Amino acid sequence: MNLQRQLLEESLEIVKPNASEFSSLFYKRLFEDYPETKPLFAQTNLEKQEKKLIASLVLIVENLRSPEALQEALKSLGARHYQLGTLEEYYPMVGDALLKTFKAYLGEKWTQDREKAWIYAYSVICTLMLEGADSPEAYLDGELTFYEWLDLYGEYDPALMKTIAELTRFKYTKQKKSN
Ligand code: HEM
């Protein structure tokens, strides 16, 4: 996966210290521009969810070096989204809101190269998620979740585990030993 990791990382590094602010701007933009996506989040604790999107993007970019794990993780994430009621047509809406938020947030630092890298990365992420959404039965019910895939086969990073534990409902049942 030639996803220009450095360009993706650089833009996330700028956003990371203010991840909550970035994410809340993202949801504001999404719900304003695409109100049809709002009902999906009716039961959602938005404060936690706001952090999940950026945390999952960081996870994805950090795991670009483990493409095998990432592919399976993203397929299972797509299957989970199918289960949550995410239609295929919502993916470009989220992509558009994400790019607009990056642009507004990074200003001059939102270079053409960074924009291109994100457009491409987002399309790869969506393709894999939609592959999982196409056959959810293969990825749900007993299969590993997005986080478990990354935990088992991705790079082991205690900081990452802490982020996941803090930001998501996911509980580690198969945590690796750091010896
Ligand atoms: C790059 C694309 C996307 C990524 C990386 C992503 C990431 C995530 C992650 C990591 C979760 C948490 C899953 C869990 O707790 O098991 C989640 C939940 C969710 N996502 Fe996405 N997502 C993406 C696209 C979308 C799209 C297109 C929609 C539809 C508008 C959407 C709607 C939701 C909803 C409704 C939830 C559940 C929130 C809750 O826990 O109540 N996502 N997403």
Query: Is 174 inside a domain boundary?
Result: no
Q: CB burial class (10 A; 0-12, 13-18, 19+) of residue 161? A: middle
12 in Cβ contact with 69 (< 8 Å): no
Query: Is 76 inside a domain boundary?
Result: yes
Decide: helix, strand or coil at residue 170.
coil
Q: What confidence score (pLDDT) does residue 109 get?
A: 95
**CATH number, domain at 23?**
1.10.490.10
Name the more confident of 178 and 103: 103
Structural domain of 109? 1-168
**pLDDT category of residue 174 using cuts at 50, 70 and 90:** very low
Evaluate: CB of 161 within 6 angstroms of ligand 1: no
**Mean pLDDT lowest among 9-18, 68-77, 166-175:** 166-175
Mutate to test the pocket of ligand 1, among 29, 36, 53, 145 (most ligand atoms within 8 A of CB): 53
Q: What's the domain count of the chain? A: 1
Q: Is the predicted pLDDT of residue 176 greater than 90, yes or no?
A: no
Query: Is 53 inside a domain boundary?
Result: yes
Query: Which atom in ligand 1 lies closest to the alpha carbon of residue 34?
Result: 30
130 CA to centre of ligand 1 in angstroms = 13
Query: Which atom in ligand 1 lies closest to the alpha carbon of residue 129?
Result: 2
Query: Is 176 inside a domain boundary?
Result: no
Question: Any idea which residue has 């088992």 for tokens?
Answer: 152
| pTM of the complete model | 0.85
